[in-house]
A and B are shown apart, each in its own frame.
Chain A
Amino acid sequence: MATGEVATRSGSSPALQDRQPGVRRPPVGPQGFADLPFDAQQLDLLDGVIAEAEQTTGLRFSVYLGEMDAGAGDTRAFAVDLLRGLGHDAPAAVLLAVSPGQRAVEIVTGALAARRISDRAARLAVISVVSSAKDGDLLGALTNGVRTLADQAGALPQRSSW
């Protein structure tokens, strides 16, 4: 079963039919943090940064950490596909994608978010991500990137959440 596919109960999904022993399938349920890049406290920090950015700007912030299209290496197309995968929120979403293996940063802003965050402002966030990632500080790279983007987008007026 490829990443992103969903097993349904209708029986049409091949994932439910080929139950052979010895086949490795994606794990189900809560997983440990042993093979993840961040521990629970760091994830909590990242979560808080994303939530704060969304609350102040009214945009959807999304962070991706991992390989971006390892085959062809077209990181931009991969990141744009990720952003479109957000569906209804995609036009108002900002995606910060970091691939430590490829040493690449991609920032994609949706059609509406691009009016709040210009490409020049996104480049500023890329610089702050790169400067942290160069030192091996991935959590700092992600949090600084999101904070910079949120700063550039500006805050919503108070009455928008009434």
Chain B
Amino acid sequence: MTVLQTLAVFVGAPLVIYLVIAASTLLPGRKRRRPQYRPGEPWTLPAQWWAGDQPLAAVDRSLMISGSEGGARGNW
């Protein structure tokens, strides 16, 4: 076993392993970064709708008969 072979096995091989692992952790994350929303850009993503799934605390249903929706709106 020559000096070169020894260096290749005990220095070169670990170095290659380190580099492969480092590359596989760094590269895919960069590529799949989510595009940041900027005001004024068109919105092409599908619509999302979330709501809680736990049952609500019991309320008096007779209160709900009258009245209409309220709310507010705004633009930016």
Task: Judge: A and B partners, yes or no.
Answer: yes
Q: Which A residues have a C-beta under 8 Å from some C-beta of B?
A: 3, 34-37, 39, 46-47, 50-51, 53-55, 58-67, 75-76, 79-80, 82-83, 86, 89, 91-93, 95, 99-115, 117-119, 122-123, 125-127, 129-130, 133-134, 136, 138, 156, 160-161
Instruction: Give the contacting residue for A37; candidates B34, B56, B69; CB below 8 A.
Output: B34
- Contact between A107 and B38, CB atoms less than 8 A apart: no
Q: Which residue of the partner chain, among A34, A62, A103, A156, contacts B75 with CB atoms under 8 Å? A: A103
Q: Assess the B76–A114 pair: CB atoms within 8 A.
A: no
Pick the contact of A138 from B37, B47, B66 — CB < 8 Å? B37
Q: Does B30 contact A (CB under 8 A)?
A: no
Closest 7 CB pairs of A and B: A66-B47, A101-B43, A114-B70, A111-B67, A122-B72, A91-B64, A62-B51
Say which residue of B41, B42, B54, B67 sits within 8 Å of A115 (CB atoms).
B67
Q: Which residue from chain B places its CB closest to the CB of A85 in the assembled complex?
A: B49
- Are A119 and B37 also in contact (CB < 8 A) when A47-B50, A50-B50, A100-B43 are? no
B6 contacts partner chain A, Cβ-Cβ < 8 Å: no
Q: What size tier do the contact residues of chain B reach? A: 35 or more
Question: Is A92 a contact of B56 with CB atoms below 8 Å?
Answer: yes
List chain A residues, Cβ under 8 A from B59.
58, 92, 112
**Shortest Cβ distance from B54 into A: residue:** A54
Q: Please, which residue of chain A has its CB at the minimum distance from the CB of B70?
A: A114
